[in-house]
Structure 1
Amino acid sequence: MSYLDYWKFKEKPFEEINDTHFFFESDDHREAFDRMRYVVNDRNMNMGLLTGEIGSGKTLTKSVLTGSLNRSQFEIIDFENSNYEFVDILYDILQRVTFRDSRIDLMNNEIMPQRGDKYALMQAFRKKMEILYYEEKRHLVLIFDEAQQMSDLVLDEVKNLTNVSSKIENFLTIFFVGQPELREKVRRLKQVDQRIFLRFHLNNLDYHNTVNYINHRIRIAGCVDKPIFTTLGLELIFRSTDGIPREINRLCKLALNYGFAHELSEISKEDIQVIIDDIQENS
């Protein structure tokens, strides 16, 4: 028997994977999603900024957004890391943009410019954007995760991609997603800061949302019979994790395994404390 069978789960509830069907709509996460979607659908807002502490759920929120967008209207390119030179980013965009009409791809099957030839890359980018916009009526969405890694120069050059547009509508929307220091970096770069139309910071979960988050993941995983954690146990989970989803996942996963190993019917405050002490002792 595994801990899944023991707790009557159909799947693991607290894995640290980017699984969108576990997405929990706290007030902050829902607002972040709504703001990002609003920026994309408007098509004329240039850029958006999403920040949050490590483990706050930025990447999962971003993934829920991309999954909600109609591919017949949007071409989405997502950079999981952003610590690259601008020419490398531009070269990658050109390779990844695809047209829904295969005939367009065949008609425009030109040789890619050299990676280091910024001028030729920009010309090729403009041509692809014009085809995407005028021929396919689609809008490019670029998302840069871990954007705090980007240098000031690269941030500025990526911003310049929004200059490529028609007379009435932008060809693309850009999102920068990253840790809190990204806000200050952008604020220093006035030319970038002024292009960001909407921004949002994901706060840690409060106690109420922490409890709902844990119960949500347990329910999605298939356990609906009875509560697993006592009220005092939940309070200690909240205090020890500061309401950070990634930390909550780690502690709850350890707690479920601990409960299985010790054949517990529920997990108490004292059980959670044993796990916390073990983490601290071995860290």
Structure 2
Amino acid sequence: MMYQQHFGLNDMPYSLTPNTSLYCSLPPHEEALAMLLIAIESGEGVLKVVGEVGTGKTLVCRKLLNEMPDNIKAAYIPNPYLNPDEMRWALAEELRLDLDHSLNQQQLSQVIQKRLIELHEAGSQVVLLLDEAQAIPTEGLEALRLFTNLETERKKLLQLVLFGQPELDQRLARPELRQLRQRISFSCRLRALHAHEVQPYIHHRMQAAGYKGAPVFGSMASRLIYRASRGVPRLVNMICHKTLMLCFGKGSHQASVSQVWKAIRDTEDASLFGLRIGSIS
């Protein structure tokens, strides 16, 4: 991006890709990470993280993968649109099992179970992380529940961490999923950023990307971004990215309120003072 050189950046500070090198340790994400790490180390069976679109679930998931203790083998399935057969094969692949695809599902389940026992006996815990879990078909969720039944006298052989939008809670409230719901030992909800957290978040991302100058976004610009984004990190990133483009076009290193306003007007889901931007003339 052309403005990287203008601001002396090594990376894109407001990329929508979940880049853990730009991670900002603000309370909502730190609380979720701390809860997850403690629960995983204690061997709890099923964990759940719910958050609205854009609140950073995938970033927390990636950060958790990076911070897993050495004795924990993490499996990650980013695409949950899988039927039970596909879910078992995806888990087998994450467990580094080189299998003959002529195996039937019962044989595949037995091989996975054997692998989980081997890892446990070698002192490893296995944790399966699933992103966008609200989209997992009911049959897929049931297949996962059956794997979480595998346990020794002290610990589960497979722990499950579900990351999903609020629709995940609605799915789990269904009677046919009550067995899985009852196995959820810890859950947390990612919130949007509070007003006083937005400016530090914006500045941290710039610094993490290599910026060394005075803050680009002042307090008034940051307050405007907070109001328009409702504290949703993804929207904050989109508005800041577009503002930096406008700054580059003007050759400036400070974001003016008018530039932020233009960026807000160009951001589809932004709102201000309770109104859609497009409705404000």
Out of 115, 128, 131, the position equivalent to 1:128 is: 115
How big is each residue's C-alpha offset from its partner over 1:57-105, in whole Å with a ceiling of 9 and x where there is no partner?
Answer: 111111111111134x12111011111011111112122313xxxxxx8
Q: Give the whole-Å Cα distance in 2 for the aligned partners of 1:191 and 1:47.
A: 11
2:88 matched residue in structure 1: 90
1:36 matched residue in structure 2: 36
Structure 1 pair 218–149 and aligned structure 2 pair: CA distance change class (3 A): same
- Aligned-residue sequence identity (percent) comes to 24
1:25 matched residue in structure 2: 25
1:161 matched residue in structure 2: 147
**Contact 2:193-2:231 within 8 A present in 1 as well:** yes
Structure 1 pair 276–168 and aligned structure 2 pair: CA distance change class (3 A): closer
1:141 aligns with 2:141: no
Q: Give the whole-Å Cα distance in 2 for the aligned partners of 1:91 and 1:22.
A: 33
Moved more, 173-182 or 19-28: 19-28
1:9 matched residue in structure 2: 9
TM-score under structure 1 length normalisation: 0.89
Q: Give the whole-Å Cα distance in 2 for the aligned partners of 1:186 and 1:49.
A: 11
1:101 matched residue in structure 2: none
1:66 aligns with 2:65: yes
Q: Give the whole-Å Cα distance in 2 for the aligned partners of 1:120 and 1:192.
A: 23
Q: Give the whole-Å Cα distance in 2 for the aligned partners of 1:196 and 1:224.
A: 44
What is the aligned length?
268
Q: Give the whole-Å Cα distance in 2 for the aligned partners of 1:275 and 1:129.
A: 50
Describe the SS at the equivalent of 1:198: strand
Out of 221, 224, 232, the position equivalent to 1:236 is: 224
Letter in 2 for 1:68: E
Q: Give the whole-Å Cα distance in 1 for the aligned partners of 2:172 and 2:120.
A: 29
How big is each residue's C-alpha offset from its partner over 1:217-249, in whole Å with a ceiling of 9 and x where there is no partner?
Answer: 011112232121122111111111111111111
**Contact 1:144-1:176 within 8 A present in 2 as well:** yes
Letter in 1 for 2:90: D
What runs of 5+ residues in structure 1 fail to find an aligned partner? 99-104
**Contact 1:238-1:248 within 8 A present in 2 as well:** yes
Out of 172, 176, 186, the position equivalent to 2:162 is: 176
Describe the SS at the equivalent of 1:130: helix
Moved more, 24-33 or 224-233: 224-233
Letter in 2 for 1:245: P
**Contact 2:238-2:267 within 8 A present in 1 as well:** no
Q: Give the whole-Å Cα distance in 2 for the aligned partners of 1:52 and 1:225.
A: 33
**Contact 1:159-1:192 within 8 A present in 2 as well:** yes
How big is each residue's C-alpha offset from its partner over 1:112-169, in whole Å with a ceiling of 9 and x where there is no partner?
Answer: 3636x221111111111111111x2111110111110012232122111111122222
TM-score under structure 2 length normalisation: 0.89
Letter in 2 for 1:120: Q
Letter in 1 for 2:245: N
Q: Give the whole-Å Cα distance in 2 for the aligned partners of 1:150 and 1:4.
A: 39
1:102 matched residue in structure 2: none
Letter in 1 for 2:262: V
Q: Give the whole-Å Cα distance in 1 for the aligned partners of 2:67 and 2:34.
A: 11
Q: Give the whole-Å Cα distance in 2 for the aligned partners of 1:113 and 1:272.
A: 54
Root-mean-square deviation over aligned CA pairs = 1.9
**Contact 1:113-1:120 within 8 A present in 2 as well:** no
Letter in 2 for 1:27: P
